[in-house]
Structure formats: C-alpha cells, structure tokens
Amino acid sequence: MKIKNLILTLILAIFYPFSLLQKVKKNKITFISLESSSLTRDFKIINNALIKADKYDLTYHLFDYTPGLKNQVIYIIKCIQQLFAINQSHLVLLDFNNFVVSKFKRKHGVKVLQLWHATGAIKKFGNSVPRDYKIKHYDYTIVNSEFFVDDFSKAFNIKKENVKITGIPETDKLFNHQRINNNSNYLKEKYPQLSNKIVVTYAPTFRGRFGTGFQELDIDLDFIQQALGDDYIIIYKPHPLIVHSKYEHNKNIIYIPHESIEKVFAVTSMLVSDYSAIVYDYMVSEKRIIAFVPDLDDYAKTPGILFDYEKEFPGVITKTNQELVDAIRFVDPDRDKQIKLYDRVFKYKDGKSTDRVVKLIQDIMVGEL
C-alpha cells in the first residue's frame, strides 16, 4: 500500500502546481466521497438543504472504491480530478478520509469539513490507528455530543474547538415518528414474513481494510434462527463495504443490503451488532441491543476500541452463537445502562441537527469561523 501511495503522490505532485493556477471560487462547495457513487446519508440531506438555499455552486466527486487493479487506475484518475476541485473550492465536504486533502490542499482559501459517515465511533479510526498516510489539513468536523470531541479531534488532527457539536443530520429521521411508521409499513408490505414476528436485526461492521478487501464476521445465522424458533425472524443488514455474503441467497433469513438502516430499524425488535456506530442510532428507539463479538480480545488490540467496551456497551455481550441465542431469548436488558449512554451520546434530541450543520456551513462560507 505504501508503494501505491508513493506512486499516487508522485503523479499528483506533477499536477499540483497547475491546480494552484486556478482561483478559489468563493461560493463553490465540493462533495467528495469514496463510499458511494451517489449522494447518500448526510451528504444527500445536506445537499438538498444547500440546493434549497440557492446560494452556492455545488459540485460532486463521488466514487465507490473497491479493491482491484482496474479500480486502482480509476482511483488515480479520480484523485487527479479531486485535486483540481479541492483547490478551486471555498469548502470541501468529506464523508471519509481523503488522501488528496492530506497531501495537496492549498494553504489558503480552502476549508475542509469532515462529515464522518456515522453518528459516532466505537472502534478507533483516522490517525488513532496505524495508517499509510497521516490525516491532516481538515479544518472542521461535526459530532453528536461532547462524548466524541476528544476522539474526533485526535482522529482527524483538528483543534478541539473546531470539532463542532451540531448533531448528525441523518439522526433527524430517528426522531420523526410518522416517518418511522411509514418505513415500518413499507418494509412489512415488501416482506410480509415480518408480520407478527419478533424481528432480530443483525447489523455488524466490516473486518479488513481498504486495499486488502473486506470480510464479514463468521456467524451461524442458520443455527440461531433454528434455535430461536418460529416466533422470531432474522434480518441481516450487511455493512455497505461487504460486497458478497454467504447469506445473500439464504432462505432462512431476510438479507437486506440495499434498504437504509433507518427503514430496517423501523421493524426491528432488537439489534445485534458489534463495534458499529449504528448502536448509537438504535439507542433512540430505547429497544434492546446485544453485542456479538467473538473477536473482542483481538479487536480491542487491532484496530482498537475507544472505550472500555465491556463496561460501556449498552447491552448484553455475547461471544458464541449459543450465548447469542440465550441472550435474545432469556436475558433482560439493562435499561439504566442504555439510557445513561444514550444521554451522553446525544446532546440534541430535537430532530434539528440538519439545520445546525447548514448554519455551520453558512458561517464557514461567509468567513465567520
């Protein structure tokens, strides 16, 4: 990976002086993503709000990065295009880490706002883990509460005062009860087998990394479904970076890769996850959360966990398939523990985080920050 980054650095260094010949456009905002070729989550929400404001020149550089030689070549071309877009924009919005910003952002006139693709973090990320390049030259990021400020400051090499507690736009939907009802009706109509069932949603994070590929955790969902019996049904919502799953054609579970997690939450009776930040999102529902973490000891070392997992996790922690079955069927949730963490993680519960982020963007654009 270091060789690839060296090659990319040399290529971008050739084009960098030419990117500085263009002037920064004071009303230009550029969205850059490596997770999707279309606007999703916070990017989609913020984009719609900015279009409505009708003040800015909006441009988009969106790329769904996957390993492979062909995609490596495409990625290099995309980085060259990003180089010119970044150094012409007054504001750059990111939803993932960005090599070009960290290496070739011009010194003056360009601001970068990191809109991280999750409500918070459980696992270590950014500069908090070993990397092929150091993240730098980000100016601002947003978080959901004071609980995340230190970790996001370290991860993105941003001053603490520039870690802005606005709430996360995507979470606004979680406080909209009419939307939740509509989503529930939509999924139950699409998947009639959900009706009159206790719905257990399994939604883990990925294993692996960019460049080497991503894998799903080994779990026996067939055994779990059989052990739970007919009163239960399992939804498997894989992480977006998992391209192929051994469960995608399994008739014993409902495999839902493309519906939003927001829709899936609307029909979920209890969530089974691990180190994914969607645990924070699901706490809004005040329903049961269970951890399935057979690799907890190893994961705590690499990439690492930001807090004492066994102390802080807002639910039962399981490490075997049988333990998971028993937790689902027999173990009552620790409501006090879950509510305590929920209150620490969510400063705002008003469904107006989008408004606060748009105000932050407007302040950056007029130079008030």
Mean pLDDT of the region 178-196:
96
**pLDDT exceeds 80 at position 208:** no
Q: Which residues face 91 on adjacent strands?
A: 29, 111
Spatial neighbors of 53 by CB under 8 A, at least 6 apart, are: 358, 362
Does residue 146 register a pLDDT over 70? Answer: yes
Report, as an integer, the average pLDDT of 59-76: 86
pLDDT one-digit tens code per residue, 151-168: 999 999 999 999 999 999
- The Cα–Cα gap between 284 and 342 comes to 7
Calculate the alpha carbon distances from 309 to 168, 207, 218, 306 in Å.
Answer: 23, 18, 20, 8
pLDDT-derived band of residue 214, with 50, 70 and 90 as boundaries?
low
Does the predicted TM-score (pTM) go above 0.75?
Answer: yes
Label residue 261 exposed, middle or buried (CB < 10 Å: 0-12, 13-18, 19+). buried
Average per-residue pLDDT for the chain: 93
What the chain holds in terms of domains, given with CATH numbers, is 2-171+351-365 (3.40.50.11820), 177-345 (3.40.50.12580)
Nearby residues of 170 by Cβ (< 8 Å), 6 or more positions away: 41, 42, 45, 119, 262, 281
- At residue 213, the pLDDT reads 59
Q: Given this model, what pLDDT does residue 328 score?
A: 97
Burial of 76 (0-12, 13-18, 19+ CB in 10 A): middle
Q: Where are the beta strands (DSSP E) in the chain?
A: 25-33, 57-62, 89-94, 111-114, 140-143, 163-165, 198-202, 207-209, 213-215, 232-236, 254-255, 270-273, 288-292, 316-318
Higher-pLDDT residue of 241, 148: 148
